[in-house]
Structure 1
Amino acid sequence: MKIDLHSHTLCSDGVLSPADLVARAVERDVNALAITDHDTVAGLAAAQQAIDELQLPLTLINGVEISTSWQQQEIHIVGLNINPHCPTLLSRLAIQQQRRFERAEEMARRLAKNQIPDVLPAVLALANGAAVTRTHFARHLVDIGQASSMNNVFKKYLGRGKIGYVPNNWVDFAEAIQWIQDANGVAVLAHPLKYKLNGKWLRRLVEQFAEAGGDAIEVISPQQTPVQKRELCALAQLHGLTASVGSDFHQVTTWNDLGKNLYLSDDVPTVWASWPQIPASPQV
């Protein structure tokens, strides 16, 4: 059983359509896939339609990834098994989308001030109605020759303290947990090692996430070391959180793909253990 509970489509900053993403998951022998686009559930219906029409052997888990603020850090919380038709959730995500647009306007203004004009129209065209993210800015800046790679864009323009960086204006992370749970979902702390926190601050993040009512933590992502996996499992156990796994897939790369290296031992309580659509057994 191969499970991947974190992935993106072109409805946010992924490169595949919902239909192509679920097809890729089947090619990769993934049995259950969560689509977790940034602050939107727009791709879920199309993904399920493709699964139904093509009779794909894949269980779709309705999800979303909400950008939040904690201690002046941008922290992402994945909502799994949500009701994507929940009116309250949809209205709250609409607020997030407006915040995204306002942040994009300010990023474009700062880049224009530094002799990189006309960024916003190009970024909006690139997003094509999807949730606007810094990844769209990075792709555009690479396209116009401002940097050789998306990594370099963040180092030169979009990272904290750089000319195009705009502090986030996202919802408080405790509030986002409530949004997810109000939509009958479970709240998962996404990719905790990507925030580059030291040990003290990582422990504080996990502790406060649990205190705020969070349910689970992504303990397995591609490229983690065995030591990192054990440490995250121990943190989850310490704070009564279940374990989730996710590739955070946006596009195929040499280091990442759907379902890649997402293995849990059979003694770790999983976030999906009580879900009827997924067997409780570990991935093999």
Structure 2
Amino acid sequence: MASTAPEKTPAARPWLTAEALAGQIDLHCHSSASDGILSPAALVSRAKSSGVTLLALTDHDTVAGIAEAREEADRQGLALMPGIELTARWGRRVVHIVGLNVDCEATALQSAIAVRDDLRQARAVQIAERLEKRGFSGAYEGASALANGAVIGRPHFARWMVDAGHVSDTAKAFKRYLGAGKIGDVIVPWPELAETLASIRASGGASVLAHPLKYGLTRTRLQALLTDFKRAGGDAVELVCGQQNPVQTREIQSLVARVDAASGVDGNVERPLLASLGSDFHQPDQSWRALGSVRLPAGVEPVWGLWRGQGTDR
């Protein structure tokens, strides 16, 4: 079975302070470096004003916003954890893996990002070609302008379609053209789950299965995903993601407990899957995933327990 221990550990963790851990924690959000609306600096400022004390910037398949976010976090007095959300493949399903406390310069992480950059660029070209054939002229140029140097994603196409007057909002863009089974749903051969977790581990980070309830899986299939995730070296599960019904949170806890029990945790054979949380913030007008709006339930072991006692105070 794959080890869950990070192979490389960054020397300093200035974000890991008692004050930061005692406050409001948000370990999943996006800036304009990927498909978010706010710049990394503006996002950090908004997090600070929302009461967040520890924030992880986890842009899709990039760490390009970390430096700007760190500079603003230092200015604001907010603890920032470097992170990323890597796209991966589990069978025929696309899943997202959050990497926390990663070394942004690590060769393994940079290689993983480069692979996904190429895949995303090829997908963007295909999406644009399909939209052009449906009469949406200028799709690639429009999405590229909105991406503003970031790798183009479907949300950029959705925003362009709104700006161009083709649809009234981004939800309709996905429902009609970009969502599953639509013309903009281009199949991408993303790196496999185990490979993705290995990249994060080799970069000194911890792997978190993001928003497990958003994959549309039956509970049996979700348990299978959790099992494979743990066997591949996964560290934690996003127990709470944005506004979430407490019943749903308990369902995830129950599935995680089953996976832990089946893998011998009760006999102290290996560490249980830990708990993470995040708003999955993308833009200010989405109240259901506002920065700082998430809380872990009592009695769970948080993912930051991996590094407790190993930080450096500012």
Aligned 8 A contact 1:4 1:34 in 2: yes
Match of 2:154 in 1: 134
* Cα root mean square deviation, aligned: 1.5
- Quick one: distance in 2 between partners of 1:278 and 1:151? 43
- Quick one: distance in 2 between partners of 1:149 and 1:71? 32
Partner residue of 1:166 out of 186, 198, 209: 186
Q: Post-superposition shift, 1:277? A: 7.6
Q: How does 1:62-141 map to 2 (within 5 A)?
A: 62-141=82-161
Match of 2:59 in 1: 37
Match of 1:248 in 2: 280
SS in 1 for 2:304: coil
Query: Could you say if the C-alpha distance between residues 139 and 277 of structure 1 is closer, same or farther in structure 2, counting changes exceeding 3 Å?
Result: farther
Structure 2: stretches of 5+ with no match in the other structure: 1-22, 261-271
Query: Could you say if the C-alpha distance between residues 157 and 268 of structure 1 is closer, same or farther in structure 2, counting changes exceeding 3 Å?
Result: same
Query: What amino acid is aligned across from residue 33 of structure 2 in structure 1?
Result: C
Aligned 8 A contact 1:5 1:34 in 2: yes
Match of 1:282 in 2: none
Query: What amino acid is aligned across from residue 58 of structure 2 in structure 1?
Result: T
Q: How does 1:228-243 map to 2 (within 5 A)?
A: 228-238=248-258, 239=260, 240-243=272-275
Aligned 8 A contact 2:112 2:196 in 1: no
Q: Post-superposition shift, 1:213? A: 1.2
Identity of aligned residues (%): 45
- Quick one: distance in 2 between partners of 1:61 and 1:140? 31
1:112-163 Cα offsets, whole Å, 9 max, x none, are 1111122111111110111221110110111112211111111100112112
The 10-residue stretch of structure 1 (213-222 or 161-170) with the greater mean CA deviation from structure 2 = 161-170
Query: What amino acid is aligned across from residue 77 of structure 1 in structure 2?
Result: I
Higher relative contact order (CA 8 A, sep 6+): 2
- Quick one: distance in 2 between partners of 1:274 and 1:116? 49
SS in 2 for 1:163: coil
Query: What amino acid is aligned across from residue 275 of structure 2 in structure 1?
Result: A
Q: Post-superposition shift, 1:165? A: 1.5
The 10-residue stretch of structure 1 (160-169 or 12-21) with the greater mean CA deviation from structure 2 = 160-169
Q: Post-superposition shift, 1:256? A: 2.3
Partner residue of 1:209 out of 229, 245, 248: 229
- Quick one: distance in 1 between partners of 2:80 and 2:279? 15
- Quick one: distance in 1 between partners of 2:174 and 2:309? 39
Aligned 8 A contact 2:56 2:83 in 1: yes
Q: Post-superposition shift, 1:276? A: 3.9
- Quick one: distance in 2 between partners of 1:14 and 1:277? 33
- TM-score normalised by L of structure 1: 0.93
SS in 1 for 2:288: coil
Partner residue of 1:26 out of 34, 42, 48: 48
Structure 1: stretches of 5+ with no match in the other structure: 280-284
Aligned 8 A contact 1:236 1:242 in 2: no
1:11-60 Cα offsets, whole Å, 9 max, x none, are 001111111111111101101000000110011111111122x2x23110
Query: Could you say if the C-alpha distance between residues 278 and 156 of structure 1 is closer, same or farther in structure 2, counting changes exceeding 3 Å?
Result: farther
Q: Post-superposition shift, 1:86? A: 0.6
SS in 2 for 1:166: coil
The 10-residue stretch of structure 1 (33-42 or 235-244) with the greater mean CA deviation from structure 2 = 235-244
Whether 2:230 is the aligned partner of 1:198: answer: no
- Quick one: distance in 1 between partners of 2:304 and 2:310? 7
SS in 2 for 1:142: helix
- Quick one: distance in 2 between partners of 1:275 and 1:58? 18
- Quick one: distance in 2 between partners of 1:13 and 1:277? 34
Q: Post-superposition shift, 1:169? A: 2.4
Q: Post-superposition shift, 1:263? A: 1.5
- Quick one: distance in 1 between partners of 2:85 and 2:297? 25
SS in 2 for 1:187: strand
Q: Post-superposition shift, 1:70? A: 1.3
- Quick one: distance in 2 between partners of 1:277 and 1:249? 29
Q: How many residues in Structure 1 have an aligned counterpart in Structure 2?
A: 276
- Quick one: distance in 2 between partners of 1:246 and 1:232? 15
